[in-house]
Amino acid sequence: MTVVAVVGAGNWGRNLVRNFHNLPSSSLKWVVDLDEGRLAKMRELFPGIRTTTAVDEMLADPEVDAVVVSASARAHHPLGMKVLRAGKHAYVEKPLALTALHAEELVSEADDRNLVLMVGHLLLFHPGVLKLKQLVESGELGDLYYLYSQRVNLGVIRQDENSLWSFAPHDLSVMLYLLDQKPVSVTARGAAYLQDGVEDVAFMNVRFSGGCMGQVQVSWLDPHKLRKFTVVGSKKMVVFDDMEAQEKIRIFDKGARVPTEYRSFGDYIGLRFGDILIPRLDASEPLRLECQHFLDCVTRGERPRSDGRGGLEVVRLLEAATRSLAADGAPIQIQEG
């Protein structure tokens, strides 16, 4: 049984509290938040838990094995460092940190102390993304040409981070997970309409070492609610639509083939319009799977699927995108870490 504490019981943190309270292999002991009203709500919902506004009080408890940090993005690095320095395993919500330097500090602190550091890249636990991974790895899609994601909505407007830092960690973590290629360069353009200097909408493009291109579109100022990935390969194409209740994955047996030899323009590019397959997916809640994975990694001393290094890679891309945004979309090279 792993004894768990959650820091940050906001809109998202309370889902983590619920899962760690319900999972049989965890014992949720503490919830920490600066807001006493939110703590009172947690005590009402989960009688028996201890609450505090002082993170140090919880960290001083030797029974606590692992701490989940779901506070505001700028608090992730200082809180994560405190947790690791107290000798506890850490699960930090995305983004892992706001600079690559801070993300590196978290990764090396966890390594030095032999502690688990997991990042809340929720989609890596989504059965739809696992299906995409399987399709890519099996070669069913052929060579990957390009992929793009759309994560737009009229939704939660943040003040302390722009739409790119708020949403794109999900899309970037999936691209890095799916592709066996390193990101080489990034461009990003965006615009801030509601608050000075906080981009509501952004379009980010990543070039990968194997020639694949990834495009991320994010916005909290959009009439559509889209959470969609499209992957285009040389043999097949796939759409993962997370807004669909049941049929989240559609595999299109469609493609275009350029023959090595051709006689006329008509022979040149052959288009194929085949069947559409909708595979059945596991209906488990991705967050529950993610929380269980963290507990398993803590118990077995294993590296999480969404480990600190993955979190660092995402932060590196976001940092490059921020520089590109400031330079009106100029390409920024990614330095290998």
Ligand X SMILES: NC(=O)c1ccc[n+]([C@@H]2O[C@H](COP(=O)([O-])OP(=O)(O)OC[C@H]3O[C@@H](n4cnc5c(N)ncnc54)[C@H](O)[C@@H]3O)[C@@H](O)[C@H]2O)c1
For residues 268 and 8, give the distance between their C-alpha atoms in angstroms, rounded to a whole number.
58
- Interface size with ligand X, residues (CB under 6 A): 24
CB-CB contact of 33 with 49 (8 Å): no
Query: Of these, 10, 62, 87, 139, which contacts ligand X (CB under 6 A)?
Result: 10
List strands edge to edge, sheet with 117-119. 50-52, 26-32, 2-7, 66-69, 89-92, 117-119
Query: Of these, 35, 247, 267, 282, which contacts ligand X (CB under 6 A)?
Result: 35
CB-CB contact of 216 with 151 (8 Å): yes
Query: Of these, 5, 18, 33, 321, which contacts ligand X (CB under 6 A)?
Result: 33
Q: Identify residues 112-151 at the interface with ligand X (CB under 6 A).
A: 120, 122
Q: Which listed range, 29-37, 109-117, 126-134, 320-328, lies at the site for ligand X (CB under 6 A)?
A: 29-37
HSE of 269, CA atoms in CB hemisphere, 13 A: 4
Please give the residue whose beta carbon sits closest to ligand X in the complex: 10
Q: Indicate the residue among 14 and 89 with the shorter CB distance to ligand X.
A: 14
Q: Indicate the residue among 93 and 171 with the shorter CB distance to ligand X.
A: 93
Q: Is 72 near ligand X (CB under 6 A)? A: yes
For residues 1 and 21, give the distance between their C-alpha atoms in angstroms, rounded to a whole number.
12
* Residue 57: CB minimum distance to ligand X, A: 11
For residues 88 and 95, give the distance between their C-alpha atoms in angstroms, rounded to a whole number.
20
User: What's CA 161's distance to the chain center, in Å?
Assistant: 15
In terms of C-beta density within 10 A (0-12 exposed, 13-18 middle, 19 or more buried), how is residue 264 classed? exposed
Query: Of these, 9, 28, 64, 251, which contacts ligand X (CB under 6 A)?
Result: 9
Query: Of these, 3, 23, 34, 289, which contacts ligand X (CB under 6 A)?
Result: 34
For residues 56 and 309, give the distance between their C-alpha atoms in angstroms, rounded to a whole number.
26
For residues 44 and 283, give the distance between their C-alpha atoms in angstroms, rounded to a whole number.
29
Give the bridge partners for 167, in sequence order. none
Q: Indicate the residue among 208 and 294 with the shorter CB distance to ligand X.
A: 294
Q: Identify residues 46-65 at the interface with ligand X (CB under 6 A).
A: 55
* Residue 263: CB minimum distance to ligand X, A: 53
* Residue 17: CB minimum distance to ligand X, A: 10
Q: Indicate the residue among 95 and 255 with the shorter CB distance to ligand X.
A: 95
Q: Indicate the residue among 33 and 199 with the shorter CB distance to ligand X.
A: 33
Where does this chain bind ligand X (CB under 6 A)? 7-13, 32-35, 38, 55, 70-73, 75, 79, 93-94, 120, 122, 166
